[in-house]
Amino acid sequence: MICSALDGGGAARIISNITTHLPREWKVDILLNTDQNIQFPYRGRIISLKVPESKSRTSFAYQGRVFVRRMRALRKLKKQNRYAACISYMDSANVANLLTGNQYCEVILNIVNNMSAKQSNEPLYRWLINPMIRLLYNRADKIIALSEEVKEDMIQNFGLHRSKLYASYCSIDLNDIEAKIAQDISDEKENWFVKDKTVVTAGRLEKQKGQWHLIRAFSEVIRQIPDAKLVIFGTGGLQDYFEKLILDYKMQNHVLLYGFNNNLDYYIAKSAVFAFPSLYEGFGTALQEALACDVPCIATDYISGAREQLAPSYKGEIKGRLNAEYGIIVERCSEKMYDASYPLDDSERELAAAMVELLQSEELRRTYAQKAKERSRIYDIEAICKRWVEIIEA
């Protein structure tokens, strides 16, 4: 398996869940950029490219160093070990996996984002990565998409062969989540988590995740519920912007940028609501895990995943707000990175209204918490790993 790191994010979580639950007789090597700061459990042998971490993994200098070392390592490893399959995660790793060929093993790619949405939001994808997908990806033996929506996007918009594509959700370990929730943890930030007052979210502090919309919307929430709190888990390049927003709104006592924490499920379960303001995803693994934490969930109608998780029978784009079967979905956010002087836009007002509605109704929270738990069972790791084995062995 090839990935940048095991220090956070959806791809790392997938590798963690899959390697720890594959058949015990399977031997696994995991090729990482660096073996430093591993946060997720895994089974197998770590092979490190020994590329020091950079402030930005998307910088050309960093990606260039990684790509050269990864190509050299993969050529050698594939020839020496004659793996049954070489499985890569994320775009740079996918390209290296393809270019080093399938002479000695099957090449299996993972697509964990909606690439059409990436193309619309990030010039690097528009001009470099997505053209490479169209040019190269049909050379793979198999391609695993993180959701049915992502699978269809790759067929309709990138010309990938349907016969090579499989959809498999990211798995969640329900037993592990329950064990984490049952822990007895105390820290100096414990008072931020109030079962009927705290909204929590998780994800990298990057544009894709849209957390500034949540911060802006929360200014309206505390106007109506003065003791409400918002906790944002994650690290990333937008932290300075978020800190300024919080300061400008004078919400230092209401909004906490927590950073990374490996006991996220414990803190979600101690909160009233999980809110997920993403702009686009492959599926939304943080939302999946939150469903299993017995809390009601709010998501924006982000590209690929919100409806598939919370409103599986609903067709069409959501405008305004929908109290769906398994959670509340509000219309997709605008992506405009306003400062605190700009009034809330329509999507932010809907996001605020959804949070207020849940915070003010214990009965509605209880109903959606039960529904969320029910929905999470289809993502249980045992069923998903069985699907992975079927795909690898097909």
CATH code at position 263: 3.40.50.2000
**CB-based contact 233:264 (threshold 8 Å):** yes
Asked, for residue 33, whether it belongs to a domain, the answer is yes
Distance, in Å, from the CA atom of 141 to the CA atom of 357, rounded to the nearest integer, reads 48
Residues 121 and 39 in one domain: yes
CA distance linking residue 394 with residue 164, whole number of Å: 11
Name which of 80, 144, 147, 387 is nearest 287 in CA terms. 147
pLDDT of the residue at 127: 86
Residue 383 lies in a domain: no
Boundary (domain end) residue, out of 139, 168, 197: 168
85 and 180 housed in the same domain: no
Residues in the chain with pLDDT values less than 50 = none
Q: What is the pLDDT of residue 66?
A: 93
pLDDT value, residue 186: 81
Position 60 scores a pLDDT of: 79
How far is 287 from 175, CA to CA, in rounded Å?
Answer: 17
Task: Give the predicted TM-score (pTM) of the model.
Answer: 0.79
Which residue's entry shows tokens 């050379």?
Answer: 139
Nearest CA among 175, 140, 135, 181 for reference residue 159:
135
DSSP 189: T
pLDDT of 7 reads 83
Q: Give the tens place of pLDDT for each residue, 171-184.
A: 888 988 999 999 98
Structure tokens at 230: 């918002």
In this structure, are 142 and 291 located in the same domain? Answer: no
Asked if residue 219 and residue 350 are part of one domain, the reply reads yes
Residues 235, 107, single domain; the answer is: no
Are 186 and 331 within one domain?
yes
> CA-to-CA distance for 23 and 41, rounded, in angstroms?
16
Alpha carbon distance 146, 168 (integer Å): 5
Q: Residues 181-211, buried b or exposed e (16+ Cβ, 10 A)? A: beeeeeeeeeebbeeebbbbbbbbbebbbbb
- The boundaries of the domain holding residue 206 are 174-378
